[in-house]
């Protein structure tokens, strides 16, 4: 997939330390290593960092569906399941399950190896 330079890795993507693993039409995989600055008071991956990873992967899946020449905005994103992560890397796979003209519905799974860390759903508007 041909992607215009600078449209995949936003400043926030870089700030979190995300790494694009793969990007196909309607599917994005983004990895995140648990660094000290991403930990909560209990030493686990902060929920905000996990939510941001999910939102970034979902946004990339949307852009790969409707084109990087258009913008989309998160209308709703909810995490239905979450498990604490203490170390290592997590991988978020986001898939567009309904590619409507004005809205897209996306599902995402965050995995650590073969263990499910989080499940999420989101709705995005094409602007």
Tens of pLDDT, residue by residue over 6-35, are 788 889 999 999 999 999 999 999 999 999
3-state SS class at 52: helix
Residue 113 has pLDDT above 70, yes or no: yes
Residue 86 has pLDDT above 70, yes or no: yes
Rounded CA-CA distance 35/96 in Å is 29
> What CATH number has the domain bearing residue 29?
3.10.129.10
The per-residue pLDDT for 56 is 96
The per-residue pLDDT for 1 is 66
Q: Percentage of the chain with pLDDT > 70?
A: 97
Domain range enclosing 77? 5-126
3-state SS class at 38: helix
Cβ pair 107, 120 in contact under 8 A: yes
- Name the residue among 68, 69, 75 with its Cα closest to residue 98: 75
Rounded CA-CA distance 85/114 in Å is 13
Q: Report the predicted TM-score, pTM, of the whole model to 2 decimal places.
A: 0.95
Q: Give the burial class of 9: count Cβ atoms within 10 A of its Cβ; 0-12 exposed, 13-18 middle, 19 or more buried.
A: middle
| Mean residue pLDDT across the chain | 94
Residue 4 has pLDDT above 80, yes or no: no
Structurally, how many domains does the chain consist of?
A: 1
Q: Percentage of the chain with pLDDT > 90?
A: 87
The per-residue pLDDT for 7 is 83
Structure tokens, 105 = 């519905």
- Tokens 């990339």 appear where? 60
The per-residue pLDDT for 5 is 65
DSSP 40: -
């Amino acid at each position: 997939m041909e992607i215009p330079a600078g449209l995949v890795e936003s400043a926030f993507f870089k700030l979190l330390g995300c790494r694009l693993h793969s990007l196909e039409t309607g599917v994005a995989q983004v990895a995140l290593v648990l660094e000290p600055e991403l930990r909560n008071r209990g030493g686990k991956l902060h929920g905000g960092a996990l939510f941001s990873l999910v939102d970034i992967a979902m946004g990339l899946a949307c852009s790969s569906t409707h084109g990087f020449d258009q913008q989309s905005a998160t209308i709703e994103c909810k995490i239905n399941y979450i498990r604490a992560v203490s170390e290592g890397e997590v991988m978020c796979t986001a898939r567009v399950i309904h590619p409507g003209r004005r809205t897209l519905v996306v599902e995402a799974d965050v995995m650590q190896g073969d263990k499910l860390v989080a499940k999420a759903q989101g709705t995005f508007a094409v602007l």
